Amino acid sequence: KNEVEQSPQNLTAQEGEFITINCSYSVGISALHWLQQHPGGGIVSLFMLSSGKKKHGRLIATINIQEKHSSLHITASHPRDSAVYICAVRAPYSGGGADGLTFGKGTHLIIQP
């Protein structure tokens, strides 16, 4: 069973700061997701990675498969980025079925104006 650990658990920063959230996992995976959850509870998928790096606007996600580690970066952070950021991993394919994700506990990010 994969153990997914995120750090930090809580992060408060000033608007404009560069933010880094880390995720590590214990067992090999086929993909890693970064998700965003707002106070209302809904989950939005930000990135899905199986290798390398992806960028979308001010968000950058990287993954190092050998080290079993991923980072989510936010450049020029803004108060609207305040949310819970969740890392989730998918086990390697084990056949034709659908496999669920294993989630980290999330990082609570607050960006102050």
Partner 1 sequence: EPEVTQTPSHQVTQMGQEVILRCVPISNHLYFYWYRQILGQKVEFLVSFYNNEISEKSEIFDDQFSVERPDGSNFTLKIRSTKLEDSAMYFCASSAIRARNEQYFGPGTRLTVT
Q: Which positions from 5 through 64 interact with partner 1, judged by CB under 8 A? A: 30-31, 33, 35, 41-45, 48, 50
Phi, psi for 106 (deg, rounded to 5): 95, 155
Is there binding between residue 109 and partner 1 (CB under 8 A)? no
Q: How far is it, in rounded angstroms, from Cα 74 to Cα 60? A: 7
The single residue among 21, 23, 46, 88 that binds partner 1, judged by CB under 8 A, is 88
CA dist., res. 11 & res. 65, Å (int) = 25
Query: In angstroms, what is the minimal distance from the CB of 17 to partner 1?
Result: 26
Q: What gap in Å lies between CA 32 and CA 91, rounded to an integer? A: 9
90 in contact with partner 1 (CB under 8 A): yes
> According to the binding rule CB under 8 A, does residue 100 interact with partner 1?
yes
Report yes or no: 19 and 81 within 8 Å, Cβ to Cβ: yes
Note the residues at the interface with partner 1 (CB under 8 A).
Answer: 30-31, 33, 35, 41-45, 48, 50, 86, 88, 90, 93, 96-106
